[in-house]
Structure 1
């Protein structure tokens, strides 16, 4: 009996061990699936790809500033003009993707009861054109009656073409949720993208009522750790970072760009240069290195970074190489009829054209004005700005 009892115990142990061994692949599979889920943030949306001819065109609308002066005729007229510009540009350029690069709304002019409804007006031209798009948000999108998070939620609700999303909890700091990335594939069957579009939240503006208070105007330091973890996961899932390119969008220019302006010339850096960078025009204008963790992580961890692109300063259009990180920075073009302006500046967009999925190939970019005039056409490659 004793031997039989020990035999049963031994058999039970062997069965338990066997079940443990059999369970391991299942656990590993689940972990792999969870990992894949992290790197596929859009399971319910179409995969974004280059065209069959190998090109990919991106159009950037910046500083639309919808909702100014809603109490008189002038404000709504500006929104009508901005919608007309968007319809014209989208019809002419036929982009594969659109970026709305911050200050979608002049939030200080909005009312709590209808502030997010302005998002419906902004995305309507994109819905009509059936073009996928993403948004960053700026200092005017954080105000007493509007927040970045509210705009993101509304955009997701009213447009199935939106790829905008919020960062995981704890990433982005106070009122800076809009940190995310969007993968672009060579074709729909590829398992790894050839281009990653990065979007960062530079915050700024004011917190909501009651007790509205200033919000820091830089990408929060927590985003640096997130960049490190995201790029690590990408390499595990997709292979070496050198196999894909990147472009980064953030509304307020990094502080390092302020020093670059003194080196800009019309010959090397074509495009309007009417806004002098200083207090309020770059991240962390007080120069306390508050945006340095983000800037360091972006440039050390994101490989083949073609450019970092910002709006915010309506009078600037140029591209230049930032020497300390050896990275190209470009301004957008003021698109909206709202927001500060000056005679002769005009309104338009920045276009980026990828002629090939090759991550090392240069990217063509230029400013297109509403009526069709183009200027400041350059190639963003290893030679530009040297």
Structure 2
């Protein structure tokens, strides 16, 4: 049975409604201020990864100095943190607050995904970390759908300079930490670097459905996109 609306306008309205519902399902917090391209069509993103920051370590201040230097030199529109960012032996939430204050203090929005070490030493779960990080000043981070593998699968859009219509979409995916199947973790025939986890099929399906909805809302025109995650694709 053909269930598509007969009229193009109705189809467009139905597609927009589906897109709104889909994106709303990805967002557990109120919509942040709109990010947009500038008048020259530019939007600058600075990415930090694998800082392994611990405020108790001797070189902690040096890491913050590097972050300060990069932010002051680049003056980005958005900062993305792609995992293994804060890895102390205790009180990771306080260290997340301390580190990201260098970003939010400059009124720069930022978004994060976790790596394989962010929840390794201190007993605070990935969901607890992401839930807290999402509440920090300037954070665009979201917990994402609970039905998906991992925690922190979400999208952020960047608008056109002269309208609120999305011009670009950023996908954030949790590549998780270690395989959940013990046999894989203990397999000696798998090289050590393959003992890390991966993006699961349900996350890929979610990405495809979100991308398809965004494309349909643009009358079939693909939306430019970037994806951020910690563990590389194999």
Counterpart-to-counterpart distance in 2, 1:202 and 1:170:
15
Counterpart-to-counterpart distance in 2, 1:206 and 1:110:
22
**Paired residue total:** 207
The alpha-carbon distance between structure 1 residues 235 and 61, as it changes in their structure 2 partners (threshold 3 A), is: same
**2:169 is equivalent to residue 196 of structure 1:** yes
Residue deviations 1:61-115 (CA, integer Å, cap 9, x gap):
11111127x4xxxx1x322111111111111110011111110122xx422xx22
Counterpart-to-counterpart distance in 1, 2:196 and 2:70:
34
The alpha-carbon distance between structure 1 residues 241 and 141, as it changes in their structure 2 partners (threshold 3 A), is: farther
The alpha-carbon distance between structure 1 residues 31 and 224, as it changes in their structure 2 partners (threshold 3 A), is: closer
2:23 to 39, 64, 77: 39
**2:153 is equivalent to residue 166 of structure 1:** no
Deviation, structure 1 residue 218: 0.8
Structure 2 counterparts to residues 102-113 of structure 1, below 5 A: 102-106=83-87, 109-111=88-90
Tell me if structure 1 keeps the 8 A contact 2:169–2:224: yes
Tell me if structure 1 keeps the 8 A contact 2:156–2:169: yes
Tell me if structure 2 keeps the 8 A contact 1:142–1:206: no
Tell me if structure 2 keeps the 8 A contact 1:119–1:155: yes
2:73 to 92, 99, 107: 92
Secondary structure at the counterpart of residue 99 of structure 1? strand
Q: Which segments of 5 or more consecutive residues in structure 2 lack a partner in the other structure?
A: 1-12, 187-194
Counterpart-to-counterpart distance in 1, 2:81 and 2:60:
15
1:225 to 205, 209, 228: 205
Deviation, structure 1 residue 200: 1.3
Counterpart-to-counterpart distance in 2, 1:205 and 1:155:
21
* Equivalence for 2:218: 238
Counterpart-to-counterpart distance in 2, 1:216 and 1:170:
21
Structure 2 counterparts to residues 324-343 of structure 1, below 5 A: none
Deviation, structure 1 residue 206: 9.0
Tell me if structure 2 keeps the 8 A contact 1:204–1:217: yes
Q: Which segments of 5 or more consecutive residues in structure 1 lack a partner in the other structure?
A: 1-28, 208-212, 256-386
Q: Which has a greater percent of strand?
A: 1
Tell me if structure 2 keeps the 8 A contact 1:141–1:147: no
Q: Which has the higher contact order (CA 8 A, sep 6+)?
A: 2
The alpha-carbon distance between structure 1 residues 206 and 124, as it changes in their structure 2 partners (threshold 3 A), is: farther
Tell me if structure 2 keeps the 8 A contact 1:198–1:248: yes
Question: What TM-score results when the alignment is normalised by the length of structure 1?
Answer: 0.49
Residue deviations 1:350-386 (CA, integer Å, cap 9, x gap):
xxxxxxxxxxxxxxxxxxxxxxxxxxxxxxxxxxxxx
Counterpart-to-counterpart distance in 1, 2:162 and 2:124:
37
Counterpart-to-counterpart distance in 1, 2:110 and 2:162:
18
Across the aligned residues of Structure 1 and Structure 2, the Cα RMSD in angstroms comes to 2.8
**2:105 is equivalent to residue 128 of structure 1:** yes
Residue deviations 1:102-158 (CA, integer Å, cap 9, x gap):
10122xx422xx221111011111111111111111010132513332222222222
Deviation, structure 1 residue 204: 1.1
Tell me if structure 1 keeps the 8 A contact 2:172–2:228: yes
1:79 to 60, 65, 90: 60
Tell me if structure 2 keeps the 8 A contact 1:57–1:96: yes
**2:51 is equivalent to residue 64 of structure 1:** yes
Counterpart-to-counterpart distance in 2, 1:248 and 1:32:
23
Counterpart-to-counterpart distance in 2, 1:81 and 1:128:
18
Secondary structure at the counterpart of residue 152 of structure 2? coil
Deviation, structure 1 residue 190: 3.6
